[in-house]
Amino acid sequence: MSDRPEMFEAVDEVWMDGEFVDFEDANVHLLTHALHYGTGVFEGVRCYETGEGPAIFRWEEHLDRFYNSAEVYDIEIPFEKQELTEATEELIRREGFESCYIRPIAFYGYGPLGLNPGKSPVQVGLAVWPWGAYLGEEALEDGVDVAVSSWRKYASSQIPTNAKTTGTYVNSVLASLEAKENGYTEAIVLNKEGNVAEGPGENIFLVRDGEIYTTGLAESILDGITRRTAIELAEERGYTVHDDATISRGELYTADELFFTGTAAEVTPIRSVDDNEIGTGTKGPVTDELQTAFFDLVESGEREEWFRYVYSND
């Protein structure tokens, strides 16, 4: 078709600033403020194929976080939430996807350069594309080998950690590149105190003696929506969940189980950290139960309050 990356080969259109445009015409100016200074916010959302058709998982929570992230940076999104919702649903219908990844983004566009965006216009875009398991299909069953990064996660006193900001993901890029260059699938990032924060694009969970621990919001993490889902699913199954935990690096090595959660990563087991085998080196029983519960949920769409059905308005 073209020299596009394979993941985008099936995409015909995107939505930009209120209009549907051809994929090849989705361009921005060289002097776009966000390109120079990272002044944009974004979301990652999944639409799953269910028995009732394609359904967007926890869309309202993602949309709320998108607008909240924008507010932190004084980015006034010039569209109502309902407009973005309708545009997203229409884009999925136009592309004919039964399941896909959804990327809303808002950023300061072409205007006067300088650190203060001033009168730079706010641009908004939406794209959807097919995207399988982020860390690989085999990772969902076999787990991933990870390394603790030499790069630290920034603190909320430096940059807001409760916002998904384009520029701040350079921190994640560095950690991910370092891990891959050293032969690992993914990284774990520590916070400035040296405690566990999260993965470059995932939250982390630890299982010890049948109880579940996940790093709290004060540990410089993003409040992940899949993280919230995993906590709820675990508590419903009778597990004690410590969702405000402080986890030291050493605790990773002695954990019974570890797993990542995230919109892209979904629920992915971790089989080793810094070449230290976790548990038996395979997907543990708690991870397996929660992973199964998660995929049963998103493939069935059984909780209507967590799904927005793309064809529900037809």
Is 180 among the catalytic positions?
no
Give me the catalytic one of 81, 119, 153, 164: 164
- Given the DSSP bridges, would you call strands 19-22 and 144-152 parallel, antiparallel or unpaired? unpaired
At 194, give phi and psi (nearest 5°). 90, 5
Number of DSSP helices (H) and strands (E) in the chain, helices first: 8, 17
Best CA proximity match to 24, nearest among 13, 36, 10: 13
Distance CA 307, CA 309 (A): 6
Beta bridge partners of 284: none
Q: Torsion angle of alpha carbons 15, 298, 66, 247, nearest 10°? A: -140
Beta bridge partners of 241: 212
Task: Give the gyration radius of the chain's Cα atoms.
Answer: 20
Cα dihedral across residues 224, 67, 168, 4: positive or negative: positive
Residues with catalytic roles: 164
